[in-house]
Amino acid sequence: MRERRLVVVSNRLPIVLERQKAGKWNIGPGAGGLITALGPVLRNRGGLWIGWLGTPSEKLADFSGLDELLQRGAEETGYALSPVHLSTEEVQNFYFGFSNQILWPLFHDFPTRCNFDPAYWQAYEWVNRKFARAIVDNTTEEDFVWVHDYQLILAGSELMKLGRKRHTGFFLHIPFPPLDVFINLPWRFAILDALMQYDLIGFQTERDRLNFIACVRALTRGVRVLGKGHVCKLVVPGREARVGSFPISIDFKEFAGLSASLETAEQAKTIRDNLPNRKLIFGVDRLDYTKGIPNRLNALVNALERYPDLRRRITLIQVIVPSREVIEEYGRIKKEIERMIGEINGRYTEVGWTPITYIFGSLSRPELVSYYQACEIALITPLKDGMNLVAKEYCASKIHEDGALILSEFAGAAASLHHGALLVNPYDIEGVADAIHQAYIMNPNERRKRMRGLRRTIRGNDVYRWVASFLEAGLAEDMRQFPLMELFVPRRRQDFLPKQSPKRVLRADQNRLVPLPRSAQPGKNAVVFKSKFVSS
């Protein structure tokens, strides 16, 4: 029997294409939790990643060396890459349109921000069909196809329409809304039906999973739910799917390790030396109305008014990472945030103290971790968030346990971090202001105790555990058919990593170290790039 491969399908490939000054194209690895977690699995199985290159096809039309470049990318990542080409118009309507002006706001409980343009739906169907064709062309029936996120909900149903059976799983990185919100979607039946075409549907939290089940129950006849626990079976006439909650996480050791480096300690010291005699509060978010930044700024003002002892004693460092700016709504929210920051700084600045330090741009990973280490308080107040990895990364980076986490109860992360975080309702301006004050005056012992608990929770539930639990649920029934998987599915980070040399890896089928095939080795001659953070 052929070996089963893991095939990951996401909107973006885990690489970045860049046009150099001389007009030459270059390829480099992308960065992010998903890439870190799935990379080793894909390498060990000789796997494949299918996705868009991030550059519209027109721009690549006169470039003849793409295949060669992708081959280099594959050598660099250690697994195969298969591009789905999208034109500027497709990106406009499928990505900026249906995905980010309909599904994104609706699933984050903002139906009034939706632009239900029917043309967007057509583009969404069309592009998902393209992805389904790419899956058919590049996989066999033995493979396990893992589709990611709201941009590709229809890929599974389009696969069915093409009449090709594949073993599939789908993970939704954003929340799933309650019935009263979901019901606004003009294409609600098609979306639910499409989700039900996957063999396993994964959500971030129990709340999302239960919202989905409630929607299926309300909008479909003859639904049965079998089993209890975080993975159940949903049966509708003619179809059955497993539905589970699998909270995503981070590579805890990577953040803790980076935070322990000398470089980070030095950068953190520079940050603190530049803003002396105060507690630093840190916020880092993609530019997005779901992240609740205006509410956060109002809460800061409220705290400065109601607790004047905080003046000169705290500074908020707010990083905003550019994202989706071509959408009008995003341009507006940027202007609004910058207006508010200007106003607050204009009003409260005193000699030697400015309440907000604002950075618009993307930091390198080491810089980000230096900020995590330098800041005594993290202020994370999304109005709604699938998980929020920043909350987990902040705690992982707090190797000296000297940080307080203020976290919105509407972030998926609150489900597991509620015991150590100061949970807030981000709409409650006074409540958030109180939490800022509470974090400021918190006794160091309590702060340490809370942070120790948070770090323990995240360490025990890292991103590798997330991958393993999803794959186990996706393949459980077929385990005997595919005995490789049982040995293969790693439980700890070490199990993913080559134990001796980077060119050798533990192959589960032989249970001994064997050299990786050339195609799966990290590229020797490939140019090594600094990985680049790509915002979604």
* Contact letters for ligand GDG, residues 145-184 (x by CB under 6 A): ----------------------------xx----------
Q: How far apart are the first and last CA of the chain?
A: 38
Q: What is the DSSP string of 60-101?
A: HTT-TTHHHHHHHHHHHHTSEEEEE---HHHIIIIIIIIIII
Q: Please, what is the minimum distance in Å from the beta carbon of residue 370 to ligand GDG?
A: 11
State the helix-helix crossing angle for 293-306 and 328-348, rounded to 10 degrees.
10
What's the residue count for the chain? 536
Residue 358 is a binding residue for ligand GDG (CB under 6 A): no
Phi-psi region of 327 (alpha: psi -120 to 50; beta: other; left: phi over 0): beta
3-state secondary structure of 236: strand
In the numeric block, the tokens 């007009």 are attached to 23
Minimum Å gap between C-beta 260 and ligand GDG is 17
461 forms part of the interface with ligand GDG (CB under 6 A): no
**Residue 527: other Cβ atoms inside 10 A:** 10
**Do residues 107 and 174 make contact, with C-beta atoms less than 8 angstroms apart?**
yes
Q: How many residues bind ligand GDG (CB under 6 A)?
A: 23
The secondary structure element, H or E, covering residue 439 is helix 429-441
Which member of 129, 278, 286, 312 binds ligand GDG (CB under 6 A)? 286
Mask of contacts with ligand GDG, 238-277, x by CB under 6 A? ----------x-----------------------------
365 binds ligand GDG, rule: CB under 6 A: yes
Among 260, 321, 508, 534, binds ligand GDG (CB under 6 A): 321
**Nearer to ligand GDG (CB atom), residue 83 or residue 386:** 386
Q: x/- string (CB under 6 A) for ligand GDG, residues 28-57?
A: ---x-x------------------------
The span from the CA of 79 to the CA of 47, in Å, is: 6
Of residues 426 and 520, the one with the C-beta less far from ligand GDG: 426
Would you name the residues annotated as active-site residues? 173, 385
Contacts with 111 (C-beta within 8 Å, 6 or more apart), sequence order: 105, 181, 184
Q: Considering beta carbons, is residue 365 or 448 the nearer one to ligand GDG?
A: 365
Q: Does 385 bind ligand GDG (CB under 6 A)?
A: yes
Closest CA to 188 of 160, 222, 211: 211
Q: Does 363 bind ligand GDG (CB under 6 A)?
A: yes
Q: How far is the CB of 369 from ligand GDG (least distance, A)?
A: 9
Q: How far is the CB of 200 from ligand GDG (least distance, A)?
A: 16
- Nearest distance in Å: CB 170, ligand GDG: 13
Nearest to 125 by CA among 170, 94, 147, 156: 94
533 binds ligand GDG (CB under 6 A): yes
Binding residues for ligand GDG restricted to 387-416, rule: CB under 6 A: 387-390, 393
- To 10 degrees, the CA torsion angle through 488, 494, 500, 501? 90
Q: Which residues contact ligand GDG (rule: CB under 6 A)?
A: 31, 33, 173-174, 248, 284, 286, 319, 321, 362-365, 368, 385-390, 393, 533, 536
